[in-house]
Structure 1
Amino acid sequence: MNILQIVQTAANELGLVSPTTLVNSTDLQVIQLLALANRDCTSLYRDYDWTDLQEEHIVNVEAQAATTGDVALNSALILNIPSTAGLDTSWAVSGEGMPQAQRIAEVVDATTVRCEMLSTATAIGTEILFAKDTYDLPTDFDRYIGQTWWDRTNHWRLIGPDSPQMDQYIRSGIFATGPRRRFRQVGRKPNAWRIWPPPFAGGAPAPGALVWEYISKNWVLKVDGTTSDRMTTDTDTPLLDDQLVIMGVKWRMWQIKGFEYAAMQQEYLDAVNAKFASDGGIPDLYLNRRSGPFLISNGNVRDGNFPGPT
């Protein structure tokens, strides 16, 4: 059912006049019904990890870029780089005089970048390595689905999301690296998904594929096949159960009007919980100490730190 049909059904069940249009209506009650439908769907998508809103995101880690440049003691600039094309503030820096966890703060011009920290040495024409360590989140990203983050190149789980405290401990402390790649979300979206260590040679392999799943904020399907986070036309269809939305509009409308709505609300909550319990199927539960019928766990997934052939 599209949103017009949903609101018409809710209005009929409440004994209200059924609208013939929503978006172009000037009727205050119709405007209110549409707003409550949007409110209910927003609440549903935020409170539950519905299968229809689950998405997979793959990050293809870029290989390092090796070049040359001039650095000077106590200067944040790297000069005389042959080309800064493709570089931006999502790249880490390594080389002579570069402190640990050095990153680009600004691309000044075609041959110069400004780093976040001052150089600790002077070197002319020294080798400089740039590695992209920060990637864009999907435009429809709302929240992560826990325990879905994996390094498909190494076949192991990513460590994270790190807290700001752990991130600073790793990037700023003595023990800066480990056998596995870590990640965290930092700064404003979308360019906010950062990995550690950066993909320099000798570190975590690159190119490589990292993957995780998330809940999309786009719960509306448009007639052209695109999705959105709000219903703005009469033909929009929510990617949520239409019967739940009808029930949600009804009790919210009665609440706004000051009528008795508790019974409607309880019926709605029971229906939501029942629907979510069956959404996407139910996983098997095992009473043994293994994590399922497959004899594989974190204890026997190769991590590259044990003797024997690779």
Structure 2
Amino acid sequence: MARFKSINDIINQVAIEVGIPKQADIFASTDPASEQLIYLSNSAGYELLQSEAWEGLVREYDITTQSTDTGKYPLPDDFAYMINQTGWDRSNNVPMLGPLSAQEWQYLEGRDLVSHTIYASFREVENEFWLFPQPPPDGLDIHFEYISRNWVQPKGVVGTFDDKVTDPSDIELYEPILFERLLKVRFLEARGFDTTAATTQLERAFGSWAAKDKGAAVLNAGAGRRGFPYLNGFRNTPDTGYGG
């Protein structure tokens, strides 16, 4: 059995559970309940997107700065939100500072600290990724991870993703049982039915699969495993020449 299921199979599973007929092709059906399940599926996809940083939706963004850059870069078309503390300046082997607040950004601009700034810093403004200093130095190798809003993969199309289901063979990239549980609750709600039992099932599925989606960290009663704060002589500063 495949790890993921087509949206046609998922909707039919929910349809049987709530007592409505299954369809050979959910998108070709004229049944109002089937049409409603399609719309609710797209809503459920966005809802799960916001609830957890699912590993299947993690993407990496990278920039290599050029001397002609303004320091303002468009975010990826599928950008939903950045994963905290994944921003790194790999050219200098240090984490980036940010996201900066408006007050912090204006402080840096107002103090003219370009010649004294140790780290590249960033903020998200106007659907863009802004680097400080502006313009940035040439050759910074900037990376961060983000969650993609594209939670759908057309079957058989490698490397192509979308943000809604449009075909019965489309694959949703969440754990199927979790998606089915959420879709069932939203359908029952929309129809005015009792959702108590279905909500309990959803909560159990979410708690289980959110925990299983990524490996758990090793618990440590001492210092953090990554050695934060960011300046650490064993991890992210050179052996010689720092501050010279």
- TM-score, length basis structure 2: 0.88
What residue number does 1:194 align with? 130
Once residues 277 and 249 of structure 1 are traced to their aligned partners in structure 2, the CA distance between those partners, rounded to angstroms, is: 20
What residue number does 1:169 align with? 107
1:305 deviation in Å?
Answer: 4.3
What residue number does 2:76 align with? 138
Contact 1:58 1:212 in 2 (8 A): yes
1:296 deviation in Å?
Answer: 9.8
SS in 1 for 2:146: strand
Once residues 175 and 166 of structure 2 are traced to their aligned partners in structure 1, the CA distance between those partners, rounded to angstroms, is: 18
* Distance of aligned partners of 1:174 and 1:58 in 2 relative to their CA distance in 1, 3 Å threshold: closer
Q: Which has the higher strand share?
A: 1
Q: Over residues 124-175 of structure 1, what are the superposed CA-to-partner deviations in whole Å (9 max), with x where a residue is unaligned? A: xxxxxx5431112111110010001010000001111111121112112354
Q: Which amino acid aligns with 1:292?
A: R
What residue number does 1:105 align with? none
Contact 1:59 1:210 in 2 (8 A): yes
1:23 deviation in Å?
Answer: 2.1
SS in 2 for 1:143: strand
Moved more, 298-307 or 46-55: 298-307
What residue number does 1:265 align with? 199
Contact 2:11 2:37 in 1 (8 A): yes
**Higher Rg:** 1
1:295 deviation in Å?
Answer: 11
Once residues 48 and 104 of structure 2 are traced to their aligned partners in structure 1, the CA distance between those partners, rounded to angstroms, is: 33
Q: Which has the higher helix share?
A: 2
Aligned length: 233
SS in 2 for 1:233: coil
Contact 1:61 1:132 in 2 (8 A): no
Once residues 143 and 248 of structure 1 are traced to their aligned partners in structure 2, the CA distance between those partners, rounded to angstroms, is: 22
1:52 deviation in Å?
Answer: 0.3
Select the residue among 142, 145, 151 that pairs with 1:213: 145
What residue number does 1:127 align with? none
SS in 2 for 1:33: helix
What residue number does 2:169 align with? 235
Unaligned runs of 5+ residues in structure 1 are 65-129
Instruction: For CA contacts below 8 A with separation 6 or more, give which structure has more relative contact order.
Output: 2
Q: Which amino acid aligns with 1:264?
A: A
SS in 2 for 1:52: helix
What residue number does 1:154 align with? 92
1:302 aligns with 2:237: yes
When the two chains are superposed, the root-mean-square deviation of aligned CA atoms in Å is: 2.1
Q: Over residues 8-33 of structure 1, what are the superposed CA-to-partner deviations in whole Å (9 max), with x where a residue is unaligned? A: 11111222111222223222111011
Select the residue among 205, 220, 224 that pairs with 1:286: 220
Once residues 194 and 55 of structure 1 are traced to their aligned partners in structure 2, the CA distance between those partners, rounded to angstroms, is: 19
Q: Which amino acid aligns with 1:298?
A: L
1:255 aligns with 2:192: no
Q: Over residues 230-251 of structure 1, what are the superposed CA-to-partner deviations in whole Å (9 max), with x where a residue is unaligned? A: 1111111100011111112222
1:297 deviation in Å?
Answer: 5.7
1:55 deviation in Å?
Answer: 1.0
Moved more, 147-156 or 256-265: 256-265
- TM-score, length basis structure 1: 0.70
Once residues 162 and 228 of structure 2 are traced to their aligned partners in structure 1, the CA distance between those partners, rounded to angstroms, is: 42
Q: Over residues 28-55 of structure 1, what are the superposed CA-to-partner deviations in whole Å (9 max), with x where a residue is unaligned? A: 1110111112222211111110000011
